[in-house]
Amino acid sequence: MTMSFTQQMITIAMIVLGTMLTRFLPFMIFPSDKPTPTYVQYLGKVLPSAVIGLLIVYCFKDVSLLSGSRGIPELIGAAAVALLHFWKKNMLLSIAGGTIIYMILVQWVFN
């Protein structure tokens, strides 16, 4: 380890500070006792759907289409979750079912 204990603590404190800045900033810029600009209100309404789309893609960020299993188990797993959910509409069943299918794929089929 190249860092001293104090330096490690400062580094961790910086990461905490950075994370908290990204979380608190919108609430500091638009305090609840003042009217929020309509543009920001609009964003607050439409952003959630887009951000959850972004989060799904974020989960695939380490998948390579050109090597290894080429993202096939990930796609099959996600499709299984979606089908199960449209069919039974049971959150836990869809998540557990899709995850088990994915685990079988990566452990036995695409290993």
Please pick, from the candidates 35, 68, 70, 91, the single residue that binds other proteins as defined by CB under 8 A. Answer: 91
Only one residue has tokens 């899709």, namely 98
Match 């952003």 to its residue by tokens: 47
**Contact pattern from residue 8 through residue 37 relative to other proteins, giving x for each residue in contact according to CB under 8 A and a dash for the rest:** x-xxx-xxxxxxxxxxxxxx--x-x---x-
Q: State residue 66 phi and psi, 5-degree precision.
A: -105, -10
Q: Which are the contacts of 76, defined by CB distance < 8 A and separation ≥ 6?
A: 101, 102, 105
* C-alpha triplet 22, 24, 27: angle, nearest 5°: 125
The contact mask relative to other proteins for 69-88 (x = CB under 8 A, - = no) is: ----xx--xx--xx--xx--
Q: Which residues bind other proteins (CB under 8 A)?
A: 1-4, 7-8, 10-12, 14-27, 30, 32, 36, 39-62, 73-74, 77-78, 81-82, 85-86, 91-92, 94-95, 98-99, 102-103, 105-107
